[in-house]
Amino acid sequence: MFRPQIKVVDCTVRDGGLMNKWQFEDDFVRQVYLACSEAGIDYMEIGYLSSESAFSRDVYGSWRFCAEEDLQRVIGDDEKKIKLSAMADIGRIDYDDIPPKSESSLDMVRVACYVHQIDAAIALAHHCQAKGYETTINVMAVSTVGPRDLREALDDLSQSRVPVIYLVDSFGAFYSEDIDVLAKHYMDRMPDKTIGIHCHNNQQLAFANTIAAIINGVNYLDGSLYGIGRGAGNCPLELLVSFLKNPKFKVRPLIEVIESHIIPLRKKIDWGYFIPYMVTGMLNQHPRAAMAHMESDEKECITDFFNQTICSIDLV
Amino acid sequence: MFRPQIKVVDCTVRDGGLMNKWQFEDDFVRQVYLACSEAGIDYMEIGYLSSESAFSRDVYGSWRFCAEEDLQRVIGDDEKKIKLSAMADIGRIDYDDIPPKSESSLDMVRVACYVHQIDAAIALAHHCQAKGYETTINVMAVSTVGPRDLREALDDLSQSRVPVIYLVDSFGAFYSEDIDVLAKHYMDRMPDKTIGIHCHNNQQLAFANTIAAIINGVNYLDGSLYGIGRGAGNCPLELLVSFLKNPKFKVRPLIEVIESHIIPLRKKIDWGYFIPYMVTGMLNQHPRAAMAHMESDEKECITDFFNQTICSIDLV
């Protein structure tokens, strides 16, 4: 009933940090780490790998950087039972600032890129591989990429040594039919690669689209606790694990940490389904305008946001 | 791109009333009515059709009864541009208490039943047809019905004169694959019937499952504003309308009334995705225990609820 090749990646701290500049207390990150470990999650993506010169620690929390001393505070002295991942953005990490795997508690580096950055992403991922890390490339905002550009990007990726390529619905714009078509396209153009999926929940479809990807043979699955993530958030990890029916996964540790750490945070940060995020999702737009609206005093003036955003699009 | 046979049914007041005993102010119901009318929604299900002897007006609001004078307060003097529906539960409405269509502003009566009540449901629906109403039968909690009982029920319904039969995921337990299989099964056993879908959002799949039903040829689609409904609620009407891409539907009036009337109500009533509802959904159980938990002082003790509910089921 379950597929042993499936790997689940928790993005709670990495994607959730896009909502609070990674200003999580160490205890929060450690409890997420312990819960994911106990739940049998394969990877915890603990933040971004960034050069200290690219961001200020006065503004951004530790998980914008993922320095080894930051990681050590979370791991502590116990046996490490879960692999750790960090995401790297093109241009925000100098090659020289990436330690060799032998000096890091990270196991995987996931390189995020837009389609025009594919060559730079492959070069960075190859560099990380040479330093000893597992790697993936996560091609963002595919919902805005035309068919010729996408085909060329996938062919380039197919030629690379990077083993896992992610289909990313950055804007929460896809319906499951889109996932069906794209997952098949990814596998047709890159028959030797493992495909991953990362969804956003603008239209309450992140979980459904992740299931659609599973049915189509996608094996790396991103989720986050209670769906925390940028804007509308991600596929809820607790739903994903309960769907997978794989005895190696346990739901209870996830529910415990949702109770103790995620619900209290949810009272301070508004991720999830809100109309401004629905509007950018249905219009296939970046959520930044919706996020700015949600942070403003006019947060509940959702008709104004709809009117401003839809402009001349004839959907009203 | 759109299918003209599709009819959309708003269940905001009827299903939402399960959360507040239908204690909506008249202005709330009228604004929902006006917004749905302006948005081009085909039907507004405004409540339950119940005998006054079955419930007390001291406890339950007008929309438990849907008497003609109640309806008139909402419709007012303007032209009625949307059809009105009421739901009837077996045993809670005497035949004699159903007025002839000529004396009612209702256009449709939807008979809700469990599978063992199919014969009573067909008789009640036929009675309503004889009085002049459109009718549907909504077979609830199908996720708990075995294949032989379901086949027999569908064959009985197939022989009836009721034109529309609903597939109802009362517990929010279905994945889209279940909807694929069941929608095909309903159409195979009842080739002359129109099929409808009513989903609950326990696993954030109400919208996705409604889309799956559409793809399988289901043509009567239930939704509610911002997903309001019992427990985790229903398919959000604003998402459904934005998906359908049918120029007869407009999203803006729905967003306006969500801003003016639904979001204020959401601050008083907790429908939507909460872990207790996820737990009963994933276990295919009635949400009543989750609803009681959500109304208790221990609402946030979700691990306790999980432990109590899962009992000996080996999913932890």
End-of-domain residue from the set A266, A285, A301: A266
Q: Give the chain B residue whose CA is nearest to the CA of A247.
A: B315
B283 touches chain A (CB under 8 A): no
Looking at this predicted complex, what is its ipTM?
Answer: 0.95
In a domain, B45, yes or no: yes
B218/B306 same-domain check: no
pLDDT of residue A57: 96
Cβ within 8 Å, pair A175-B211: yes
From chain A, pick out residues whose CB is under 8 angstroms from the CB of B250.
316
Cβ within 8 Å, pair A201-B204: yes
Cβ within 8 Å, pair A251-B316: yes
Calculate mean pLDDT across residues B75-82.
94
B289/B169 same-domain check: no
Mean pLDDT by 10 residues, chain A (316 residues): 91 98 98 98 98 95 97 94 97 95 98 98 98 98 97 98 98 98 98 98 98 98 98 98 94 98 97 98 96 96 94 54
Residue B315 above 60 pLDDT? no
In a domain, B29, yes or no: yes
In a domain, B115, yes or no: yes
pLDDT of residue A316: 46
In a domain, A315, yes or no: no
**Which structural domain range is residue A12 located in?**
7-266
Q: Give the chain B residue whose CA is nearest to the CA of A263.
A: B300
B241/B301 same-domain check: no
B215/B254 same-domain check: yes
- pTM, entire model: 0.96
Q: Give the chain B residue whose CA is nearest to the CA of A309.
A: B252
Cβ within 8 Å, pair A239-B263: no
pLDDT of residue B2: 81
In a domain, A21, yes or no: yes
By three-state DSSP, how is residue A172 classified? coil
Helix axes A275-282, B237-244, angle to 10 degrees: 10
Calculate mean pLDDT across residues B88-100.
95
Number of domains chain A contains: 2
A203/A284 same-domain check: no
> Given pLDDT bands bounded at 50, 70 and 90, which one contains residue B311?
confident
pLDDT of residue B312: 45
Cβ within 8 Å, pair B259-A206: no
Q: Which residue has the higher pLDDT, A311 or B168?
A: B168
From chain A, pick out residues whose CB is under 8 angstroms from the CB of B204.
201, 204, 206-208, 236, 239
In a domain, A222, yes or no: yes
What CATH number is attached to the domain comprising B41? 3.20.20.70
pLDDT of residue B313: 56
A111/A207 same-domain check: yes
Distance from the Cα of B216 to chain A's closest Cα (Å) equals 13
Residue B316 above 70 pLDDT? no
B153/B246 same-domain check: yes
A101/A52 same-domain check: yes
A17/A98 same-domain check: yes
By three-state DSSP, how is residue A258 classified? helix
Which 22-81 residues of chain A touch chain B by CB within 8 A? none
Q: Give the chain B residue whose CA is nearest to the CA of A173.
A: B243
Mean residue pLDDT across chain B: 96
pLDDT in tens, B172-189: 999 999 999 999 999 999
B87/B16 same-domain check: yes
Calculate mean pLDDT across residues B47-66.
96
pLDDT in tens, B279-299: 999 999 999 999 999 999 999
B288/B225 same-domain check: no
From chain B, pick out residues whose CB is under 8 angstroms from the CB of A203.
207, 239, 242-243
In a domain, B316, yes or no: no
B246 touches chain A (CB under 8 A): no
B257/B305 same-domain check: no
From chain A, pick out residues whose CB is under 8 angstroms from the CB of B252.
303, 306-307, 316
Calculate mean pLDDT across residues B122-145.
98
Residue of A238, A252, A275 with shortest CB distance to B255:
A275
In a domain, B2, yes or no: no
Distance from the Cα of B158 to chain A's closest Cα (Å) equals 31
Q: Give the chain B residue whose CA is nearest to the CA of A261.
A: B300
